[in-house]
């Protein structure tokens, strides 16, 4: 294989552990060209009047790129970070570095798959192959007990069959050396200002100061399982609202691909072996299975998840003044303390608990009668842990146009507040005058 050069195109897979495309490239090529494209289309306005990427997530991604660059440099490599659209940048780099093949991880949502397809077309003209890898799910799609088109639209049926019949592959080893071309160009991680964004203010009330990168993700995984043993009580505490450890908080690192879901699975299995299995250890894997499920559903249903009538083709009732109501909801000034507190947390930190997300989504759709896709788009802008399948899949579920077998997924906000914030500590923390 002397003289082969492979371009490794990073996207939402910003890690060196359990990264099949990176490992394979180091084995198959003499030199590799690791590249990340900062796509300006990710920093534009969405059709809903929201931004596609807000400053919290952008900051997290830039930190993750910095960390990946350092990790690759330690192995003798580097990461080339260029601003521009992949279908234009990658063919140029292939010429410059005389690339024989390009590797990347397959995505499932419409915009991401369209970019892959545009890149594939551009490379095809140059007779260069774009090789697809699967690395975003705990289960490999080839190991599912059914083809994608036959996956049940009800999660419970999917879960039972998968738990019974599917196995999870071992993680891939981490490369020990990376060789880049002698003429590899230098590049810097862009700043938020370069992307037209501002530095988000750090809010001392944030459940966790999330910092991007594989190093931080692995540190959090180690802390949650081994140091604090918070995993042991995860099922009891996961609906919490206050503090760093009521849930694993691994989702931002999972979304950017700084952590591999398979790596988490095997680490939980090791924990069970060494410190004992219980409902909570199972529940973390159960949540990862939900994440897998939405990705496979996106593969099955394509763009239906971005349509107002969803996969069920069901129309929701809408308020005549929904624009005004949407603004109140976004800014956490609806007058419903539990909803407003959660929306304030999101606005100031880029994060919200799972319990909070379900409540504010139900309130927007069922009480305010606002188009659910606006809410999903606002979450896309604001959340540090945004990932298309989980975000739009969950919103469609709550809006009754997705995978929920029940027609109405209504949350009684007062009852929820009484149950999950009985002393009002969370609402007090996030009331506006406390900022």
Q: Is 330 known as a binding-site position? A: no
Contact 400, 408 (CB under 8 A): yes
The token duo for 11 is: 């996207």
Q: Which residues pair with 7 in a beta bridge?
A: 33, 102
Q: Is 149 known as a binding-site position? A: no
What does DSSP assign to residue 395? H
CA 86/CA 114 separation, integer angstroms = 11
Look at the block and give the residue holding tokens 């995984």. 221
Q: Is 14 known as a binding-site position? A: no
CA 118/CA 9 separation, integer angstroms = 14
Virtual torsion, Cα 393, 159, 262, 120, nearest 10 deg: -50
Q: Is 247 known as a binding-site position? A: yes
Query: Residue 109 contacts by C-beta under 8 Å, 6 or more apart in sequence?
Result: 298, 388, 389, 392
- Alpha carbons within 13 A on the beta-carbon side of 427: 18
CA 309/CA 407 separation, integer angstroms = 13
What does DSSP assign to residue 260? -
Q: Is 248 known as a binding-site position? A: yes
The token duo for 187 is: 């590049």
Q: Is 251 known as a binding-site position? A: yes
What does DSSP assign to residue 40? G
Identify the CA nearest to 80 among candidates 32, 115, 129. Answer: 32
Annotated binding-site members for FAD: 234, 247-251
Annotated binding-site members: 234, 247-251
């Amino acid at each position: 294989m002397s003289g082969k050069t492979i371009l490794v195109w990073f996207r939402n897979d910003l890690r060196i552990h359990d990264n099949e495309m990176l490992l394979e490239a180091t084995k198959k090529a003499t030199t590799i060209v690791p590249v990340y494209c900062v796509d300006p289309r990710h920093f534009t306005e969405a059709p809903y009047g929201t931004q596609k990427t807000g400053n919290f997530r952008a900051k997290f991604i830039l930190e993750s790129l910095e960390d990946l660059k350092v990790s690759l440099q330690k192995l003798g490599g580097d990461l080339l970070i260029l601003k521009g659209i992949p279908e234009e940048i990658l063919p140029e780099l292939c010429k410059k570095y005389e690339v024989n093949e390009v590797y990347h991880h397959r995505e499932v949502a419409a915009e991401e798959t369209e970019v892959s397809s545009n890149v594939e077309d551009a490379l095809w003209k140059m007779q260069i192959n774009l090789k697809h890898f699967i690395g975003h799910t705990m289960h490999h799609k080839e190991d599912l007990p059914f083809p994608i088109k036959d996956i049940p639209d009800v999660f419970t049926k999917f879960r039972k069959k998968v738990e019974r019949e599917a196995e999870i592959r071992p993680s891939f080893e981490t490369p020990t050396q990376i060789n880049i071309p002698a003429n590899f160009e230098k590049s810097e991680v862009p700043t938020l200002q370069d992307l037209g964004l501002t530095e988000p203010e750090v809010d001392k009330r944030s459940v966790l100061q999330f910092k991007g990168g594989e190093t931080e993700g692995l540190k959090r995984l180690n802390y949650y399982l081994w140091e604090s043993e918070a995993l042991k009580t995860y099922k009891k505490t996961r609906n919490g609202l206050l503090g760093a450890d009521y849930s694993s908080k691994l989702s931002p690192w999972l979304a950017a691909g700084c952590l591999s879901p398979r790596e988490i699975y095997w680490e939980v299995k090791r924990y069970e072996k060494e410190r004992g299995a219980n409902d909570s250890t199972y529940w973390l894997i159960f949540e990862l299975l939900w994440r897998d499920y939405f990705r496979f559903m996106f593969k099955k249903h394509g763009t239906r998840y971005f349509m107002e009538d969803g996969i069920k083709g069901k129309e929701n009732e809408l308020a005549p003044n929904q624009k005004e109501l949407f603004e109140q909801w976004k800014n956490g000034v609806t007058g419903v303390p539990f909803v407003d507190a959660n929306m304030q947390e999101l606005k100031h930190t880029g994060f919200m608990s799972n319990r909070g997300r379900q409540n504010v989504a139900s309130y927007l759709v069922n009480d305010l009668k606002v188009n659910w896709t606006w809410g999903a788009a606002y979450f896309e802008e604001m959340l540090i842990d945004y990932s298309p399948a989980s975000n739009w899949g969950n919103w469609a579920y709550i809006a009754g146009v997705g995978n929920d077998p029940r027609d109405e997924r209504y949350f009684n906000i007062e009852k929820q507040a009484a149950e999950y914030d009985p002393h009002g500590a969370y609402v007090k923390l996030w009331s506006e005058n406390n900022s």
